[in-house]
Amino acid sequence: MNLKTISYAMGITILAASCNQYKTQVTENGLKYQIFEHEDDARKAKLGDIMSFHLVLKNGTDSTLRDTYKEGNPVKMVLQAPPFKGSFEEGLALLATGDSAKFMINADTLFAKMMQPMPPMIKKGSEISFTVKVLSVLTSEEFQKQQSEAGVKQKAVDAKVIDAFLAKNNLQGKARKTASGLVYVPQVEGSGTSPAAGDNVKVHYTGKFLDGKEFDSSKNQGKPLDLQVGQGMVIPGWEEGIMLMKKGEKGLLIIPSGLAYGPEAYGPIPGNSVLQFEMELIDFSKGTGAPAAPPVAPPTR
């Protein structure tokens, strides 16, 4: 066999291996998938593990519905038992760290199982594709440790950012720093006592990035925000900051990311953002001590 024949044979072999690698396969439960990258020795996900992965979601006409690469924020989710046969979770359970694959799921089945109406951009009878690149697989304990260590590092970064902001705006002499890292700058003095956890407060607020760009304001909504403070209804920086104020007081809260939205993006707010809120405590009244609510963020309309 001459060199030309050998080269041709090798090319055919490589092409066949490539086609075999990317061929569409089907699990026993009917999930269609393609594997693009796979390492046998890599750590495979188990139920209860936290998986971090990039996701490109497309409809049947190949239009992109979501792309976490462009969002700059990979998905983090706990791997749970598949909620139905041929589900996305079944596909994730096939993967390990560094793997990439595509899963194709019938849109009718998916939305029926989710008990949600079919969105207009998805046609009945079509398939939705989930293309995934796994970045990491961690146990719950490993994930919590990683988050804790990252939080400590980010707190130090935020402190430097806040110090630079105070110096740039000549606020060092007025600023009050708390043990949590929150900074409060009083602007208009209030009177009386401060609200305590469980009290009902009425506040006006304007949220801005440190460069001054506004992302939300109750004044644009035409009315102040009513909430029960100290019950987990808003971000921790708000909880602590409002309880430093008195009725009629106006001030500036400079909130480190750990007391705001943390490492994940939230609407127009990138992850690990230090934020400033112009706050006015219009009024407050004693609350009834309602049970704590699930934590939510101030609106960002």
Catalytic residues: 205, 215-216, 235, 261, 277
Measured CA to CA, the distance from residue 162 to residue 156 in angstroms comes to 10
Measured CA to CA, the distance from residue 294 to residue 14 in angstroms comes to 54
Measured CA to CA, the distance from residue 197 to residue 167 in angstroms comes to 32
Report which of 198, 197, 217 is spatially closest to residue 207, judged by C-alpha positions: 217
Contact by Cβ (8 Å): 135, 69: no
Residue 49 is encoded by which pair of tokens? 């593990």
81 contact partners, CB below 8 Å, separation of at least 6: 47, 89
Measured CA to CA, the distance from residue 117 to residue 77 in angstroms comes to 24
Give how far Cα 127 sits from Cα of 24, 60, 258, 275, Å: 14, 5, 39, 41
Amino acid found at 57: L
Q: List, as one string, the DSSP characters of 53-105.
A: EEEEEE-TT--EEEEHHHHT--EEEE----SSTT-HHHHHTT-BTT-EEEEEE
Measured CA to CA, the distance from residue 98 to residue 136 in angstroms comes to 7
Strand partners, 101: 35, 132
29 contact partners, CB below 8 Å, separation of at least 6: 82, 85, 86, 90
Helix (H, G, I), strand (E, B) or coil at 208: strand
